[in-house]
Structure 1
Amino acid sequence: MTRLNWTERAAELAGHYQRFRVSERILLTGHSHQAWPDCAREAQLNAFDDAAEWVDDKWSRAFEQADRVREEYRCRLGDSSGELVLGPNTQELLVRWLSALPLTEKPRLVTTDGEFHSMRRLLDRLDETAIEVHKVPAEPVATLASRLSDAVDDRTAAVLCSMVMFQSGAIVPHLDQLGADLRRKEVPLLIDAYHAVNIVPVSLDDLNLGDAFVVGGGYKYCQLGEGNCFLRVPRDCNWRPIVTGWFAEFATLDQAPDGSVQYGSGRWAFEGSTYDATSHYRAARVFEFFNEQQLDAATLRAINLAQLRCLLDALKTYDWPDDIQLPDDNLESRGGFLVIRTSRASELVRRLREHDVYADARADSLRLGPAPYVTETQLLKAAEVLHSVV
């Protein structure tokens, strides 16, 4: 994407985010939480109006919104065969998924030491029990897939890893080979795609990952706000999670009871219970906005890479002390944000905020993530402000 194209596009898009005041402050938190377009507010009001008009009969309308959200996610995952369970957060969906694993017969899980907190904390707590959680070092990421495969033994119930590492931004290569290896070993794979959806083009079909489970959500690059996470389930999955909601019975209403807890196949086995449908109204409308603006994953990736290049080039025009380590130039191997290594990361986040520049930190990683409404002028200003506070 040319400089003229993305700069004009960003300035144009900023006009759709007036309530979040994206032109008045520099929001470099696109990798963590993005602003909502103004149309999201209208959708939230529509959810209220439907509830007021239809009372408990609102659910047919709410389920229509949920179906639209599922379909949009499937498109962004390049997935023609899976089914999606929606949930308020990935932690809740992970709990249901973990509860379906045969951990008494296979009390071992393989993961990395670079997973996001929602997964990491659950696995760390399991590791305090009779379940062994084996963590493979996330670096070097080039060999991570093969090292995960090598760590599997006959006691392993599942492998869990990210598609894009949340702390470094590194894209994990060779997930297709990992999927093939685990298929031969009959070990299920769960992929955390939160930092890939709608910013790094994904095609589960092309990767031949139709039998993989995938979690993710829309708080980051989809601009959906809270309450819009998903678990992608293979269509013919016949698992029986212990943590099960009464919505899972919808698929078995025509079955004669046999005294056991009955489950549908695919996503139905993992369905939850009554929820706040407002988030799906908002998500469906925001996805519609993305489609109206022709912002598919490939376009968003092109805008993002141009923004990252602009920001990195601006940072490189300044002299930096030894404790500030800028990222290298290989932007195509990373997700939607830059990582600056510094022991002062948290302090710099606070100092930047004093100048209306929003960023975040994870340990020694200062993370700077533009969103499509961030302009070239704002990126150049952010580099100047960061240098001044350093």
Structure 2
Amino acid sequence: MSLDLTAHFSRFLGAAPGRIHLAAHSHHYWPDASASGQERAWADAARLADQKWSTVFEEVVPAVQQAIAARLSLPDPTTITFAPNTHEFLKRLLSCFPADRPVRILSSDAEFHSFSRQTARLEEDGLIVVDRVTAEPFDTLADRLCEKAAAGGHDMVFVSQVFFSSGAIGPDIAALAAAVPDPETFVVVDGYHGFMAVPTDLSAVSQRIFYVAGGYKYAMSGEGACFLHCPPGYGPRPRDTGWYAAFAALEEAGGGVGYSRDGMRFFGSTFDPSGLYRMQAVFAWMDEIGLTVPAIHAHVLGLQDRFLAGTEKEKIVPLTSARLVTPVGANVNRGHFLTFETPDAGSLHRRLLAENIVTDVRGDRLRFGFACYHTEASIDRAIKRIASVLRT
């Protein structure tokens, strides 16, 4: 399915018309509709001042919860809570476990820095123990990870839905959850590269897994709008807690620190709500024009195939000779970016950027990200520009 949504992204596209942006996986453009959300946040702050929080929690938060739940097939929107970034959620999740022994975690060696850096630091002090399964080869990862999970002995299983360094799809979420023998083990799925990119149905595992993602990438809403789906009963009293986590418990009698029973138990404290306003506006825009995640995904996969065919046709040797890390093939699903492994990744990135062609580099991996604001014609133009730069 091919889309042309350029008219809906006129402000970002018009702000730098000479830029070729192939890093949607890193910093996704925002649709024009998001500006109305930003303006509403400012207007509400001016109009309501101290009383704006009633509007935030009674109108904006429920609307965004409903929209996220609909796109993930979650039965109860109130299981969703918010934070400015996913790192807050990781710290809060880790604070749910006993403090008298190391937390035992099963994960992969391909997780994003919010997880990998924090866990590496906690390992240095002996506060956690992480069993990391090698992500590659991807075609056997699911079996290897489920086998480790089935052995038990973990407090948490943490894995990406789509791996940030490759675009490869992670293990089947339901199968992984089913493989964990201890019902008290936290199963946490990092959905940042999956949400709003890969069609996702969590209805079968909504009572079992945590799912964390945000608005910076494919949700097209920018910074400060991350969310966590919290399965009922898991982590009722995180030690890392902000006063918003007590909203539903403020009037309860009894001693001790009170917590909400829904997803709000993982909330923090005062935050900038403008990201949620933008996210609400983006979801409303999508509903208005009938734009769905499956339609975006089909469009992006088609653009990726077109890009790969173009690199072959134009004989862009630095790319055609590199290892394509992202699995590509008949009936092979993948995320919204292509990853080329080459020792020249850094220099290729710099050469392209010097010509206003934006990509992304991670070590020896050069990443090209595609989005709903790209068209077939814009990809064809990009290929011509890339070929002219990398041939010289």
TM over 0.5: yes
1:77 correspondence with 2:72: yes
Native 8 Å contact 2:216 2:225 kept in 1: yes
Native 8 Å contact 2:199 2:297 kept in 1: yes
- AA in 1 matched with 2:35: R
1:41 correspondence with 2:35: yes
Range moving further from structure 2, 221-230 or 134-143:
134-143
Distance 1:329 1:366, change over 3 A: same
SS of match in other structure, 2:239: coil
CA apart distance, 1:183:
4.8
1:102 correspondence with 2:98: yes
Distance 1:88 1:30 in 2: 20
- 2:372 is matched with which residue? 372
Range moving further from structure 2, 80-89 or 273-282:
80-89
- 2:329 is matched with which residue? 330
The equivalent position to 2:107 in structure 1, one of 111, 126, 129, is 111
Distance 1:86 1:328, change over 3 A: closer
CA apart distance, 1:105:
4.4
Native 8 Å contact 1:176 1:209 kept in 2: no
Native 8 Å contact 1:26 1:374 kept in 2: no
SS of match in other structure, 1:86: strand
Over aligned residues, Cα RMSD in angstroms? 2.0
The equivalent position to 1:224 in structure 2, one of 221, 225, 231, is 221
Distance 1:186 1:235 in 2: 12
CA apart distance, 1:81:
4.1
- 2:11 is matched with which residue? 19
Matched residues, number: 380
Range moving further from structure 2, 167-176 or 192-201:
167-176
- 1:181 is matched with which residue? 179
Native 8 Å contact 1:70 1:86 kept in 2: no
1:202 correspondence with 2:200: yes
1:164 correspondence with 2:175: no
- AA in 1 matched with 2:199: P
- AA in 2 matched with 1:330: G
SS of match in other structure, 1:230: strand
Distance 2:31 2:302 in 1: 22
Distance 2:295 2:70 in 1: 14
SS of match in other structure, 1:333: coil
SS of match in other structure, 2:306: helix
1:135 correspondence with 2:127: no
- 1:353 is matched with which residue? 353
Native 8 Å contact 1:47 1:281 kept in 2: yes
Distance 2:173 2:51 in 1: 44
Deviations 1:251-302 (A, max 9, x none): 11221132x2122223122111111111111111111111122111111111
Deviations 1:356-386 (A, max 9, x none): 2211111121111111111222212222333
Deviations 1:193-250 (A, max 9, x none): 11111111000114x3531011111111110000110111013335211110001111
Q: Please list, as runs of the form range in 1=range in 2, the aligned pairs for 1:241-280 lying within 5 A after superposition.
A: 241-258=238-255, 260-280=256-276
SS of match in other structure, 1:61: helix
- 2:61 is matched with which residue? 66
- 1:192 is matched with which residue? 190
Distance 1:339 1:17 in 2: 25
Distance 1:203 1:183, change over 3 A: farther
Distance 2:166 2:84 in 1: 26
Native 8 Å contact 1:237 1:266 kept in 2: no
- 1:32 is matched with which residue? 26
- AA in 1 matched with 2:65: R
SS of match in other structure, 1:215: strand
Unaligned runs of 5+ in 2: none
Distance 1:80 1:263, change over 3 A: same
CA apart distance, 1:142:
2.7
Distance 1:236 1:305, change over 3 A: same
Distance 1:37 1:59 in 2: 26
Native 8 Å contact 1:148 1:159 kept in 2: no
Distance 1:209 1:146 in 2: 22
Distance 1:316 1:210, change over 3 A: farther
Distance 1:252 1:330 in 2: 52
CA apart distance, 1:323:
5.2
Distance 1:329 1:360 in 2: 19
